[in-house]
Each structure stands twice: as structure tokens, then as C-alpha cells.
Chain A
Amino acid sequence: MLSQSPSSLQIVPCSHFTYERLADIYNDTRVDYIVPMPMNARRVQEYTHDYDVDLDQSIIIENGAGRAVAMGMLAFRGQRAWITRLGVCPDQRGRKLGDYVMDELLRRARERGAKAVQLEVIVGNDPAARLFIKKGFSFNRELLILSRPPAAATTTPAPDFSIASLSETEILTSLQTRTCASSWLDDTESLVNTGHLVGFRASHANGSVGWLICKKSRFQLSHFALDVSGDCPHETILALLDTLHRSYPTQDTKFENLDALSPALSAFLNAGYIEVFRRTEMVLSL
């Protein structure tokens, strides 16, 4: 039961708020989050653009006094929906507001014709995980967030790889033909939306080939996609990472949502990446 009657709660679309206000509300709900990830207005704007967040379908919950006490965002791609930025202000927890937001977002997803909903929850955020299970979500996979400080490559890649930069057209073609499963953050749509992509292709005489694409911003490399095939995937990824970090030695690197079971993980760890935290990807068929 909601301790505040639903009639005293008001659902307001996120589109009624400025990005500054959305950032403030989001930060208020996450002030004590396990892994602090505050956002400013520019980041909220980029986030909604890059991940196709529908601000008309995303919601803020205001209490009877008009205070924003909870929020949740909803994004759509075809018949898939993504729930993100779900949060309840710390002093309002335990009042079923998370339930209320989830029910409303799922209702909106159904209404828009979504057949599946996905979301991620940080490993260790047990109350949120329990809420999602209660709503019918099931575990899909665990995703890693990796980080690497700026530096040129620290490993010596296997010799004899031929490396080439990818053109803009080749980047798009590669993304459209990739075989690895992506999370919402590194879907092709996300990468295309975010822009500023760079990419490299590595090939070896033994038939091993692969490519790596990421976003290069002023301070950071992020939004990774990669695909490798052939007999030596580990060496192929090392060759690609070596090229990437030699090309951009002053950039910090953040790789979000690498599948925890990915065979690529060992190459990233060899190249100086560390695990910062984990997310669980959960899915629900509607």
C-alpha cells in the first residue's frame, strides 16, 4: 500500500521540466547511491538524446506539497523499451513509490506497443533488484564497467597484425553487421546518436580479424563496440587496444557494460583496465 494515497501524488511528464531541474531531481534521488553518478543539465540532455529517452513518457512523481519525490525514465527503440534513472528520494523510501513509478512506466510501455522491457541495476542494490523481480523481470546477464587511466599501451601486442583506421562509413557498416549482443548503452543506435566515433580494424595472416569502435570525447574514450573472429581473438583485441591507446594516450577510458562472461575480458584486463562495478541486466516480456 502506498502510504501517500495515489490521489495525493501527481505524475508529471519529464518533458515539463528543464534539464537543470531534471538533473536536480535525479541527483536528489541518488544522493546516497552505491556508486555515485551525479549528472548536470548537459549530461541529462546528452543522455536523453543518446539513449532515445522519451521525455513525454518519462515521469516525475510529485507529492501533495508539489515536491518531486521520485522519477523514472522510459526509452523506446522499435518494440523494445528501456527503463532508466529510476529513483526515490531517500526520505521517501519505504512508501512503495518505486512500485508506483514502475507500474506507471510499464503501463506506458505496453500502451506504446513495447513487447519487451529491459533495465540494468547495480549489483548490490538489492531493494531495486527485488522490486524488479516483483514486477516480473528476470536476470539476463551481468555487465562490467571497466576503467583505464590515460597512458599509451602497456602490453606488447602479438606481431604481424595489420591495422587500419575505419572511415565514418566503415564504422556505420561495422556497427550494423556486428554479431555481439549489445546493451542499451552500446546499441548501434546509442553509438550513432552519440557521435564522435573512432574505429580500427585489425587483421592477421592467419585469418583472425576484428574491429573496435568507441566514442572519443575531450577527456574520455567511451561507448565501446567490438567484434572479433578467427583463431586468436585475445591477440586481436590486444592489437586493437594497443592501437587505440597509442592513438589517444591522454584519454581516460570507460567501457560500460561488457558482458561479464565475454572472452574479451582477459584482453581488457591485460591492457590495464580495471573493474569498477557491475550491473545486472534484467528483461521482461510484455
Chain B
Amino acid sequence: MSVIVVIDDNHENARLAARLLSPHHQVMVANDGESGLTLVFDHQPDIALVDLGLPDIDGQAIIGMIRQNPVLAHMRVVAFTAYPEETAYEIARVYGCDGVIIKPINTRVFVKQVEDILCREQT
């Protein structure tokens, strides 16, 4: 069982992600960047799914902060976004994300997408 933080301002989407992941993992949800950062720093999860378009802080800035912090070096970070795919992958590459999950969630493969990233060697 892994600890997962989902940071997504779309409540419906965040709830769906939590519902799909929670039978297998411990899931915490934040609906804005500020509370997402608090969850990440307080609980140091195994993985954070970070929406790039958040209402208070840009998702990229959140990812940048996580990546800057040596205490969180073990943590996987995923760009969880409705951005155009090409843009999402480029942002993820430059910001050092471990993966990209494009929204809307594909409920059939979502859990596997997350678990594959958890199992992967860290970038």
C-alpha cells in the first residue's frame, strides 16, 4: 500500500481518482495548491498527482517546489492534467516529473497507470 496525494481543483475528478485508488492505497486529496503542498510536506507521500492548472498556485510551481526539496527526493510526481498532451509531456520532462496522466481519467487503466509509475525506477 502506498501513500498518494491527489492535488486537483476539480472536485469530481479528485473524488473519482480517490475512489479508484483507495481500495489499494492510502489517498489524500487537496483541491488547491496551498493545501496540496501542506499535505505533501506533512505526509511525504510515495507519489503526488499534481494538476497543472490550479486556482491559487500554478501546478508547475508546486512540482518545482517538491523537486527542490531533498526531503521529498524519494517522491514520485505526476503531471495530472487536461493540458494538450504534447505540452503536458514537455512540462513533465522539464520539471522532472516521473509521469503524465492526461485527464479525463480513463477508469479502466488509471490505477495501473499510477502503480506503474510507483514501480518504475525513479528518474
Contact = CB atoms under 8 A, between A and B. Distances in A.
Interface of A: 23, 27, 31, 34-40, 42-43, 124, 147-150, 219-220, 250, 252, 254, 272, 274, 276-277
B70 interface: no
Interface stretch (B16-24, B38-46, B90-98, B108-116): B90-98
A40 B58 contact: no
A276 B87 contact: yes
A234 B54 CA distance: 34
Interface in B1-44: 9-10, 32
Contacts of B63: 149
29 contacts: A27-B55, A31-B10, A34-B84, A35-B83, A35-B84, A35-B87, A36-B53, A36-B81, A38-B53, A38-B54, A40-B32, A40-B55, A40-B56, A43-B55, A147-B91, A149-B63, A149-B67, A149-B94, A150-B64, A150-B65, A219-B58, A219-B62, A219-B65, A252-B58, A252-B64, A252-B65, A274-B94, A276-B91, A277-B84
- Size bracket of the B interface: 20 to 34
Majority-rule SS of B interface residues: loop
B73 interface: no
Contacts of A150: 64-65, 67-68
A87 B52 CA distance: 21
A254 B67 CA distance: 17
Contacts of B91: 147, 274, 276
Interface of B: 9-10, 32, 51-58, 60-65, 67-68, 81-84, 87, 90-91, 94-96
B82 to A, nearest CB: 5
A272 B87 CA distance: 15
A37 B67 contact: no
B64 A149 contact: yes
B58 A220 contact: yes
Given A148-B94, A250-B68, 12 more contacts: A36-B51, A36-B52, A36-B53, A36-B82, A147-B91, A147-B94, A149-B60, A149-B63, A219-B64, A254-B58, A254-B60, A274-B94
A124 B9 CA distance: 24
Q: Which residue among A23, A43, A276 has the maximum number of chain B CB atoms within 10 Å of its CB?
A: A276
